[in-house]
Structure 1
Amino acid sequence: MTNNALPVGADLRGWLDHLQATGRLSAARPGVDLRFELAGIASRLDGDRAVVFGKPGGKDITVVSGLLSRREWMAEALGVAETELIDRFQQACQDPVPWTEVEHAPCQEEVIREVDLGSLPVPTHNEHDHGPYITAGLLIARNPTTGSQNVSIHRLQVSGPDRLGALLLPRHTAAFFGQAEASGTDLEVAIAIGVDPLTLMSSQAAVPIDHDELEIAGALRGSPLPVTKAVTNEVRVPADAEIVLEGRLLADVREPEGPFGEFPQYYGPRADRHVVRIDAMTHRRDPIYHTVVGGGLEHLLLGCIPREGSFLAHLRQNFQSVRAVHLPRGGVCRYHLYVQVRDPEPGEVKNLILAALGAHYDIKHVTVVDSDVNVFDPDEVEWAVATRFQADRDLVLVGGAQGSRLDPSTTDGVGAKMGIDATVPPVDDEDRFTRIRVPGAEEIDLERAVTPAPANWRSAR
């Protein structure tokens, strides 16, 4: 794929043009309140239309929300059918494309060294949120030993004119910071706000440490992602980002952060957490600020689709029977994983369950089904559990395992994990598990076979 054939989702402003042209972009009245009203409008339209907010709270910067709140929109942004979405993301994780560095970048058209975060239109989303939060900022950090980058999204509480509170869960950014703090130094970071949909999606890939997610963005684009060096540190940021905050995660500093409405539909509690000191802000002329409503569809799906691709790649490396995976909305697109298999070897499903539980600490329950069960339909999966699963034979239970600290049922993130083997068990009578079907039902043309009943339905007899 050449630069002349980039997917429509490779450019934020182009994606907004596309949503507008297809009737999926709304404009709120100017000047909506940044406290709750903006999030309320975005929530009401979540999964139906994206929204542009002009001069919210009297700020000069436009806000957008709801860019990727449906699975089919994500596929559309990539230029593939929805059925190809996960495989396409899996391929990008396996075959990343290194970025290309440019000297002059749109994201640095304006450079501000005396930073006041109050100039940004940062909304307060949910009822008990401590205050304004940056929710769609890509936090980019460099491994202080290798120089490799990591890209992730963290909730970032606006705590002062140049200060952000950050929740770092035990993943790669926290590992980089731990190395820096152990040597008594801060960790240089940059926060890119308002990036293209493909780069946004790539930030959520569940890949090994020292795998730069900006290279996955390049693979999704089909060409290297243009990046540029930050003005005040060595971090490379997407050249076309709308806004970039440059700063440092401060060593040996913790300050109160939270509560904040999170993806499990509960609040992450208040506690002493990491702090980012902002040294500079750069942005495009007339920048666009992107916000994701905490716990909304965009929040859930941004973590869902990339993880499905990453988990599919991880499981297929060792289990040839794996055909598809899905993180259902009922499991907050994080905690429940459905896996579809075809002709597994005896005992393989239990090994697969253990591997899936270890793929990411967020995964709490794994359900494995046969290839005749649609993993994207929770009713089908529940039917398989109801008719093919016996707890004393098919249950895998692991206690005292690391889980999500945002799961309120755990003890500081430690809890139980469960696997359910809902595949057909070995039986002598093959007909015992033959699914009922009406032959030819799928091929019937209903428009030709059925018409609306007449006003006097008795005349149709």
Structure 2
Amino acid sequence: MTSLGAPANDVGPARTLRHWLAHLSRSGRVAAIDKPVALEHELAAIAKCLDGTQAAFFTQPGGHAVPVVSGFMSKRAWIAEAMGVDESALLARFSAAAAAPLESKLVGREEAPCQQVVHTSGIDLHALLPIPTHSEYDNGPYLTAGLVIARNPRTGVQNVSINRIQVHGQNRMAILLLPRHLYAFHREAEAAGDALDVAIAIGVDPLTMLASQAITPIDHDELEIAGALHGAPLPVAQCVTNGVHVPAFAEIVIEGRILPNVREPEGPFGEFPKYYSAREAREVIEVTAVTHRRDPIFHTIVPAEMEHLLLGAIPREATLLAHLQRSHPAVKDVHLSVGGVCRYHLWVQFDKKREGEAKNVILCAFGAHYDIKQVVVVDTDVNVHDPAEIEWAIATRFQADRDLVVIEGAQGSPLDPSTTVGQPDDAPSHLQGVSAKMGLDATRPVVYPAHVFTRVRIPGQDSVDLHTLVAADNSAFDAYLSRDHD
């Protein structure tokens, strides 16, 4: 079994995947599955059962010698722990790192564990790596936790993202490119008739994973945000077959190039909204090299489960909070709900001073990210991380005829299946993802009669210490019941 390799007294933010897994293991948060497990469905099913309680570490996945890990970022509190902060400081810490990135540190091959073993000929991804097939109707095995890194063909600045990648053959893969930075890079290269060099880093630490999802303008290298989260420049190594820089402590790196003017079928695939995306023609990666540690660990993310959802939620929340506070400083907190697949439903805590302000906050949120489909604004006495509190605020502070905002025909998520209802299967791309938006002002009136909107509380409830009050056993209670009260 691969050693997780971190000293028992090591403390501080997670520096490498192994350091973090060793930390989780010491606190009982890694479940080692030592029996053979099938790569098709079985591995994902087991990981899903452990989701949010323990990371799953498979020592015999599909007959491979390379183990598979999943679920090591499946709780919000774990991610804060990896950063070395309280959960309440999670968004502020991420925002601070995004605002003050640190330039990465280029190291040589001898200092880069990700290049201890190099394959440049006779590459067979299925033989080298234990790549799972996750959901029932997935069209084959997928890379779901790889950091896709590429350079802007014009400026040379890198971009990092996580894209779903279907492994078609020994050295050929199809990748989903949504209209973001990597898409723009590829279109720039393709227009010139060139391939786009890329690298896919698999098995990085949780902070580097999280940084990859930062919402930044084009030409901002997310690996520099990872360095800021770590508090030191991130060590990176140059690929062996192209000029892309990758995290030096990654477990595995797949090098390749996205071919110009080549498309191959990809999908269906079970995505984060918990539905399947369609089979469509996608861009193609031709693999030129695979490098890895001597005893690598393969990371897979089970789609639509907590590791997948939280990776998208936390960077978005940090960006949305900063965006809203620029125009509305009285915004105190935000939360992308799990029920809204950590993308579509935003809850905003707001210290309202004037009537109408909450509706302005709603409109500002819709302009912050096209994925946002529903916004609920609540007062500061409502915990935006508690779904029951949000529902209570809507039930008692919202009236549809005066507090509802509806916007028709706005750009939404192309992966939201409800946006395709009523459209033909061959609808043009410019109609995909067109969505209605809904905002709910669930705040109290600024002025209201005494006690009407005052929450019911019991004095002293917050200072009760049950540990000192509740008896260690029920002997006194049992003795009382045993008396003859007839």
Is the TM value for this pair above 0.5? yes
What residue is the counterpart of 2:444 in the other structure? 424
Q: Quick one: which of 93, 110, 118 aligns to 1:88?
A: 93
Give CA-to-partner distance per residue, 1:385-428, whole Å, 9 cap, x none.
Answer: 11111222222211111111111101321111111111112435
Q: Does 1:110 align with 2:117?
A: yes
Aligned residues of 1:206 and 1:311 also touching (Cα < 8 A): no
What residue is the counterpart of 2:477 in the other structure? 454
What residue is the counterpart of 1:63 in the other structure? 68
Residue 93 of structure 2 aligns to a residue whose secondary structure is: helix
What residue is the counterpart of 1:34 in the other structure? 39
For the structure 1 residues 156 and 219, does the alpha-carbon distance in structure 2 shift closer, same or farther, using more than 3 Å as the test? same
Q: Greater CA deviation, 188-197 or 297-306? A: 297-306
Deviation at 1:231, TM superposition (A): 1.3
- Looking at structure 2, the residues matched to 457 and 128 of structure 1 have their Cα atoms a distance apart, in angstroms, of 60
What residue is the counterpart of 1:79 in the other structure? 84
Aligned residues of 2:353 and 2:446 also touching (Cα < 8 A): no
Deviation at 1:130, TM superposition (A): 0.5
Opposite residue 286 of structure 1, the aligned amino acid is D
What residue is the counterpart of 1:7 in the other structure? 12
- Looking at structure 1, the residues matched to 224 and 181 of structure 2 have their Cα atoms a distance apart, in angstroms, of 16
Opposite residue 467 of structure 2, the aligned amino acid is E
Q: Quick one: which of 384, 397, 402 aligns to 1:388?
A: 397
Aligned residues of 2:13 and 2:230 also touching (Cα < 8 A): no
Q: Does 1:362 align with 2:371?
A: yes
For the structure 1 residues 14 and 437, does the alpha-carbon distance in structure 2 shift closer, same or farther, using more than 3 Å as the test? same
Q: Quick one: which of 174, 181, 188 aligns to 1:165?
A: 174
Deviation at 1:344, TM superposition (A): 4.4
Deviation at 1:457, TM superposition (A): 5.0
Deviation at 1:347, TM superposition (A): 3.0
What residue is the counterpart of 1:194 in the other structure? 203
Q: CA-atom RMSD, angstroms?
A: 1.8
Deviation at 1:343, TM superposition (A): 3.3
- Looking at structure 1, the residues matched to 440 and 178 of structure 2 have their Cα atoms a distance apart, in angstroms, of 27
Opposite residue 89 of structure 2, the aligned amino acid is E
- Looking at structure 2, the residues matched to 171 and 420 of structure 1 have their Cα atoms a distance apart, in angstroms, of 29
Q: Quick one: which of 134, 142, 145 aligns to 2:154?
A: 145
What residue is the counterpart of 2:426 in the other structure? none
Deviation at 1:330, TM superposition (A): 0.7
TM superposition score normalised by structure 2: 0.90
What residue is the counterpart of 2:291 in the other structure? 282
What residue is the counterpart of 2:433 in the other structure? 413
Aligned residues of 1:63 and 1:289 also touching (Cα < 8 A): yes
**Where does the alignment leave 5 or more consecutive residues of structure 2 unmatched?**
1-8, 421-431
Residue 216 of structure 1 aligns to a residue whose secondary structure is: helix
Q: Quick one: which of 41, 46, 51 aligns to 1:46?
A: 51
- Looking at structure 2, the residues matched to 194 and 398 of structure 1 have their Cα atoms a distance apart, in angstroms, of 41
Aligned residues of 2:355 and 2:445 also touching (Cα < 8 A): no
TM superposition score normalised by structure 1: 0.95
Deviation at 1:348, TM superposition (A): 2.8
- Looking at structure 2, the residues matched to 276 and 60 of structure 1 have their Cα atoms a distance apart, in angstroms, of 25
- Looking at structure 1, the residues matched to 73 and 340 of structure 2 have their Cα atoms a distance apart, in angstroms, of 19
Give CA-to-partner distance per residue, 1:21-72, whole Å, 9 cap, x none.
Answer: 1111111124311111111111111111112111311112111111111111
Deviation at 1:458, TM superposition (A): 4.7
Deviation at 1:8, TM superposition (A): 3.7
Q: Percent identity?
A: 59
**Where does the alignment leave 5 or more consecutive residues of structure 1 unmatched?**
none
Q: Which residues in structure 2 correspond to 1:18-29 (within 5 Å)? A: 18-29=23-34
Deviation at 1:222, TM superposition (A): 0.6
Opposite residue 185 of structure 1, the aligned amino acid is D
Give CA-to-partner distance per residue, 1:113-160, whole Å, 9 cap, x none.
Answer: 122111210011111111100010000111111111111111100011
